[in-house]
Chains A and B, each alone.
Chain A
Amino acid sequence: MKTLPSDIGGEPAGPIDTIDHGMKHWERQANAFRSVVQMQKITCTDELRRAAEDLGDRYKDMHYFEITTSAMRAVLLEKGLFTEQELAAKMAEIRARFNVPDEMESPIKKGAKK
């Protein structure tokens, strides 16, 4: 009797990519952010897991750090640490900040492009 979207043990699934791809840069940020938030006792593993389970049908199409980031969003909103409007405004600000001319960007990108 299945009740939670995270309860996937025993389901059929595809082959396993046995290579460890490590964490992408943003995943390291998300992971580190989560660690700090937990260390500061702002939230805890159980609250975040409950929020991840609340994702319902969305859970299955999301990647690991997308799930944890969505869970963090839900928990911090519930706690009233910021509003949806504040978060949307901050996201818009960051999006604009990323939108800089190419030559100002990371040396990786500069070197890798064309």
Chain B
Amino acid sequence: MTNTTHDYYARKSSDHHDHDHDHDHDDHKQPNPANEHDNGPPGEYEIMSRAMQELLEQKGMITAAQVAKRMELFDEEFPYHGAQVVARAWVDPAFKQRLLADGRAACAEMGAMLEAERLIAVENTPEVHNVIVCTLCSCYPRALLGMPPTWYKSRNYRSRVVFEPRAVLKEFGTELPDSVTVRVHDSNADMRYLVVPMRPQGTEGWSEVKLAGLLSRDMLVGVTVPKV
């Protein structure tokens, strides 16, 4: 990221708990707009985190350059492989079988090395719709989907999606017929999930690249569905 939002001196405001500002980081390709909420005096946790980093630097256990490098890599290191993997599964039934049998190995074929031991790909069908959560923290297939969105880590999503998934999906603009079973999958540190959405009608003959363009992160978490 090169924009000034991530300037070293950018600050957070004292009202950083307030998330109802309307800037939108949803699109992976767009740089984050300047965030004035990072201005203002630094908070206690910011100072604490920075202080811990500097103390470990002084002990020679880590370097500032390592941390700076990681900060730069957040967007680049976890490329958006998820859409490519699902598009391949849509056009290549043998790959889809391998993906559903052993998600980690199938993703490795496409150059996405999963951080967790297992990746379980769950396929949406006319009868079953799948949604992913990590109720205990924020486990997420980062190697496929990038950094988890704010809402995925939020208390409200983690609490509610397991007992009222239809209401939660509705908040994302997704309404499913009552006849569809909704399955919610709870991830953990060793086991991550990926939703394989249904290929929409009207995409017959589309190239893999064009199909991948249909797929957003939210669809691969299962809170929305692809449409043409």
Question: Which residues of chain A come closer than 8 Å to B46, judged between CB atoms?
Answer: 26, 29-30
Shortest Cβ gap from B158 to chain A (Å): 6
Question: Which residues of chain B come closer than 8 Å to A22, judged between CB atoms?
Answer: 25, 32, 147, 150
Whether the Cβ atoms of A37 and B39 lie closer than 8 Å is no
Whether the Cβ atoms of A26 and B38 lie closer than 8 Å is yes
C-alpha spacing A87/B22, complex, angstroms: 36
Whether the Cβ atoms of B74 and A28 lie closer than 8 Å is yes
C-alpha spacing A39/B24, complex, angstroms: 31
A35-79 interface bits toward B, Cβ cutoff 8 Å, 1 = contact, 0 = none: 111011010011001001000000010011110011011001000
Partner-binding segment picked from B9-17, B87-95, B192-200, B205-213: B9-17
The bracket for how many chain B residues form the interface is 35 or more
User: Given A21-B19, A36-B66, A108-B4, A82–B171 Cβ distance below 8 Å?
Assistant: no
Question: Which residues of chain A come closer than 8 Å to B98, judged between CB atoms?
Answer: none
Q: A20-B25, A31-B147 are in contact. List 17 more A-B contacts (CB 8 A).
A: A9-B186, A12-B159, A20-B26, A20-B150, A24-B16, A25-B5, A26-B50, A72-B49, A76-B52, A86-B55, A90-B51, A94-B50, A108-B4, A108-B36, A108-B38, A109-B11, A109-B39
